[in-house]
Amino acid sequence: MTLTPTLPTNVRAPAALIGERRITGSGELMVTNPYTGTQLGSVAVADADLVDEAIRVAESALAAWSRTAPAQRAATLRRTADLVIERGAGIAGTVTAEMGMPITMALATQRDMPAAVLRAMAAAIEAFRWSEPVDGAELHRVPAGVVAAITPWNMPVHQIVAKVAAALGAGCPVVLKPSEATPYDAELIRGCFIDAGVPADAFAIVNGTGPITGAALTGAPGIAHISFTGSVRAGHAIAAAAATTLTRTTLELGGKSPAVVLPDADLASVIPRVFASGLVNSGQACNATTRLVLPAAAAGDAERLLVQAAQQVRLGDPADPGTTHGPLSSLAHTERVLSQLGRARTDGARFVVGTGTRESATVSDCFIAPTVLADLPATAAAVREEIFGPVLVIQYYDDEADAIQIANDTEYGLSAEVWSASGEHAREVARELEVGQVKINGVRTRERPAVPFGGMKNSGYGRELGAVGLAEFTEIMAVMS
């Protein structure tokens, strides 16, 4: 069965949605379905003047929205969650058409998970200590001001909700710049927030590219906090721009996350799950465990199980519920991943799974079959760099200390997994890892929507989700008497 795409053809996303106005704007970027190769439509580009207008309107909404009672803001987020579920089939279908995410995954991660995040944030708002006494003073958590949220294409709805729910929950208006590759879902999600009771002036969208729209947004003096998810290179640029206005930032900049499989783990049950977590969304996930840190003594069994796991993958139409892995997000991104695989071959990689070439048995040019590499030196680009595709690298270790050293030998520090027959021992190893989040024995991020998410080292700083993510968008006022 194939899900019929919910998007009409030739739809044009506006340059901006500000208050009740839909502003057509100028310029035009094409939006293409990566599976069919056909044009879905286009998106206009918001220039600096439109960005400034969006910020001014958001600033005008700050006083009223910041004074709403926390309980009211929590109730609004719960109503938003209900609308996301109610409209979820259309939202998920839109994401599938925009960037090729399989529909079953889109329903789980772009409908169910955002709704869970909204409800968890509502609970966090109600439990949050907005005021507390400290040494004779009263500390108040107050809204920081207008928040700029800049989100990526790979998990578009979840990333929007993670940022916007926390900002609005803290009493801050938001100006959102979604990825220009996935503009249509952003408008659908904004509609859920507005219909749930968020004032239209408190949530604007500005569409466009990073160099034009994003640069205007991050360099604007009216922004109090910038929350960005994307590449390290873009993160450096945003941090530099924010420094000129002393604007606080939350940066989530990707990862090269290890899955550490300890010697006592049951390989037959663990390897298929590790394989799946590394290839989630065809590897287009910042916390995908793309480095498999495995015991050298079990190399033969581990590789045999990886080959078997790859045989369960079904590439195909992402609108078909039977498809496990869809295309990569675009032809340009596919070419980048193929280039990285070519470099890995030059560096001496042994292809345990896959050939490192374009998958020709599909109708789209944006497919690469799951690929597992071995025998690469620790300095190889495929080991060091985030590929953001269906590519896993095996790194074998001799003992536990070696496994921890390998896991930490990276410029990234976003996420990790530890697998062991002993949960207690797995937690001991987890505490040795230099990452912002460790998942033990297969727990998934989507199952814990109130747990803070964010990284160390070049994976950025700051946290999203739960009470910690809520606090990101507040300032502390101390009143002494």
Cα–Cα distance for residue pair 187/206, rounded to 1 Å: 10
In the chain, residues under CATH classification 3.40.309.10 are 258-448
In the chain, residues under CATH classification 3.40.605.10 are 11-253+460-480
CATH fold, domain 258-448, is Aldehyde Dehydrogenase; Chain A, domain 2 (3.40.309)
Q: Which CATH class is domain 11-253+460-480?
A: alpha beta
Cα–Cα distance for residue pair 478/467, rounded to 1 Å: 20
Cα–Cα distance for residue pair 116/355, rounded to 1 Å: 39
| Runs of H (alpha helix) within 250-289 | 267-278
- pLDDT reading at 434 higher than 90: yes
Q: Is 244 exposed, middle or buried (0-12, 13-18, 19+ CB in 10 A)?
A: exposed
pLDDT in tens, 397-411: 999 999 999 999 999
Predicted confidence band of residue 1 (pLDDT cuts 50, 70, 90):
very low
pLDDT at 8: 55
Catalytic-role residue among 53, 98, 187, 252: 252
pLDDT in tens, 84-117: 999 999 999 999 999 999 999 999 999 999 999 9
- pLDDT reading at 393 higher than 90: yes
**In the numeric block, which tokens belong to residue 439?**
């998942």
| % of the chain with per-residue pLDDT over 90 | 95
Predicted confidence band of residue 7 (pLDDT cuts 50, 70, 90):
low
CA distances from 442 to 81, 139, 260, 274, 472 (A): 26, 39, 11, 8, 28
Cα–Cα distance for residue pair 63/145, rounded to 1 Å: 9
Give the count of beta carbons closer than 10 Å to the beta carbon of residue 377: 10
With residue 453 as reference, give the H or E element that holds it.
none
Span 7-15, average pLDDT: 80
Instruction: Judge contact between 234 and 209, C-beta under 8 A.
Output: no
Cα–Cα distance for residue pair 94/13, rounded to 1 Å: 13
Cα–Cα distance for residue pair 323/208, rounded to 1 Å: 31
pLDDT in tens, 231-245: 999 999 999 999 999
pLDDT at 9: 66
pLDDT in tens, 267-308: 999 999 999 999 999 999 999 999 999 999 999 999 999 999
pLDDT at 427: 98
pLDDT at 3: 45
Instruction: Judge contact between 125 and 77, C-beta under 8 A.
Output: yes
pLDDT at 5: 47
pLDDT in tens, 253-266: 999 999 999 999 99
Span 180-205, average pLDDT: 98
For residue 98, indicate whether it is catalytic.
no
pLDDT at 25: 85
Cα–Cα distance for residue pair 60/424, rounded to 1 Å: 52
Cα–Cα distance for residue pair 208/48, rounded to 1 Å: 11
Instruction: Judge contact between 220 and 145, C-beta under 8 A.
Output: no
- pLDDT reading at 385 higher than 80: yes
- pLDDT reading at 200 higher than 50: yes
> pLDDT averaged over the chain?
96
